[in-house]
Structure 1
């Protein structure tokens, strides 16, 4: 994690230099910017620093930090971790992006490194419960609606009963939790609900706040003719997912054969769905192609009998959608089952 350490006084510079030295041994890589050593001061470099680093550590007053970052703040999913240390090194204050940005963890790390007191003000941490966004981040779940995170967290910090429905094998650390098996039969005492599922569940007559956390457990195998446009591949994936009532936010990876590794349409689709592409060799495909329907045309064209099904299979999980054709594009889907 790249951290910009920003100091404004001689004492602050000493702390910044120390953190830079310590970072070589830890998980954080610190770059130290001293205000006196920069023409125009740190403020003149802040545009670059904000974009370049995962976290900013101000060795200053909180007032200086707030005034400098105020115009850059967007939202908790985008903002870097912000920590403030007083220039005597007494306190390490998590100021912004405590959970998703990692400022709370960074603040604690710094406190141990320089023998300071960590100052963490997030309600969930001070109650010893696991926040929704931390739970999601830890398990690589996508949060469908960030606004609902605040509502669900409010239910938790106030000690109310939370319902928990999951297709995965992870459970959030919260004492007042009720496991829900049937989303159309929700216990009356529940005041909020967390749904961990790649499926768009059919929920009727629910009048409590609920949030979807999407496990990334859906793999997409893709085959296509040469030069197929990205938007067509994207729409084909969307159609295939919709047919299975699956969320696009659960897509973990796209797979295809090495012949298609430079296919712009597939590359564009991976960028759109924010997932990596796994390229399989002809040999890897051949090892499993006998399990699936064969096409002599595909064999004559690229050297294997099929692409989408073997690719989805090799990515992992159970094949839940066999090869489906979408006008020159083939899509297959596998799902990794972690519970059951």
Structure 2
């Protein structure tokens, strides 16, 4: 987690430095050395995972207000008073990790963590915290309240999962009689009105003609996801043959999605395990019978999930890394 601290007094600065020694991050003093709070907040909201204000809560609230977007996108925001008595998560308590961070910071300076989210206060299963613990993206953050609201009202909720979830489900959580009856679902192919939790375990294998633009790749990718009902949030990186290392369109396409890329030689691609869609034409050009499927499998160190799909000179495939979800959702659980 990338942290950024800001304090406004000498005493607060000393506390910020103490906290940063335990939870590393940059430290600034507002109003000093040309640091303007508005500029600092805008920059850190864009580049840091967590903003820690050492000072009055009102200062933090006014500073972050113009930048708040959604619980799925906002960084964690925590406030500590300059005396180190209280640590208060203000924003992104579960998905952004602010509740956990507040507890960690409180332990450093012996403060009281002030956790105000209802599920934490009542000891109720928090589906968004579980999603974070299981390395899942939340496809529809606005639906979290439906699941949490039902549990807080003493009702049961039903789940569906495309993987076996080990352990015992939390109180109030039961398997759905059918996938379309689930309140939340663990899946890479979301359908229906459930809250969909998307495991971030997928690798996109890419093949393309020389000179393919980022726009053409984007159009192909959108069609690929639509045809397979595939959630793009599940992709963590992309992969291809080393012949594509210098393709500007491919680089721009991956950069726009925030994906790193893996490139493999033809010899390395031939070592991939599994059954792949063979093409004599691809073999004649690249030295290997398939690029997108083999590259995805190697980069994922897993299995093919969606086989080769082709359109307008672009080939795509998806492979999945091993995934073993369990029912742990609190960070103090073993």
State the 1:49 CA deviation.
4.1
- 1:41 Cα shift? 5.6
Task: Name the structure 1 match of 2:13.
Answer: 13
The CA deviation at 1:332 is: 3.2
CA shift for structure 1 position 272: 4.9
CA separation in 2, counterparts of 1:261 and 1:324?
Answer: 21
- Name the CA distance, whole Å, in 2 between partners of 1:75 and 1:301: 46
Deviation at 1:302, TM superposition (A): 2.6
Higher relative contact order (CA 8 A, sep 6+): 2
Cross-structure match for 1:183: 179
After superposition, what is the alpha-carbon deviation per residue over 1:237-256, rounded to whole angstroms, capped at 9, x for unaligned? 34344443333333343321
Max Rg structure: 1
Q: Cα deviation per residue 1:179-198 (whole Å; 9 max; x = unaligned)?
A: 125225x4xxxxx7001111
Q: SS of 1:101's equivalent?
A: coil
Which deviates further from its counterpart, 47-56 or 126-135?
Answer: 47-56
Deviates most, 219-228 or 268-277: 268-277
Give secondary structure in 2 for the equivalent of 1:213: strand
TM-score (normalised: structure 1):
0.82
Pair 330,123 (structure 1): closer, same or farther in 2 beyond 3 Å? same
The answer as to whether partners of 1:198 and 1:217 remain within 8 angstroms in 2 is no
Which of 156, 170, 189 is residue 199 of structure 1 equivalent to? Answer: 189
Structure 1 residues 91 and 330: alpha-carbon distance in aligned structure 2, compared to 1, 3 A threshold: closer
Identify which range, 155-164 or 10-19, moves more after superposition. Answer: 10-19
SS at match of 2:95: coil
Any idea what the Cα deviations from partners look like across 1:261-293, whole Å, max 9, x if unmatched? Answer: 222333344345554322122221132499545
Asked if 2 retains the 8 angstrom alpha-carbon contact of 1:215 and 1:250, the reply is yes
1:232 lines up with 2:227 in the alignment? no
1:43 deviation in Å? 5.0
Contact kept? 2:125, 2:151, Cα under 8 Å: no
The one of 143, 156, 161 aligned to 1:161: 156
Answer yes or no: is 1:325 the counterpart of 2:310: yes
Tell me: CA distance 1:239–1:316, structure 2 relative to 1, closer, same or farther (3 Å): farther
Partner of 1:297: 281
Q: 1:233 to 1:123 in 2, by over 3 A?
A: same
Q: Does 1:131 align with 2:126?
A: yes
Equivalent of 1:31, from 26, 33, 37?
A: 26
Partner of 1:86: 81
Aligned mates of 2:278, 2:48 — CA distance in 1: 49
Q: Which residue of 1 aligns with 2:247?
A: 263
Q: TM-score scaled to structure 2, two decimals?
A: 0.83
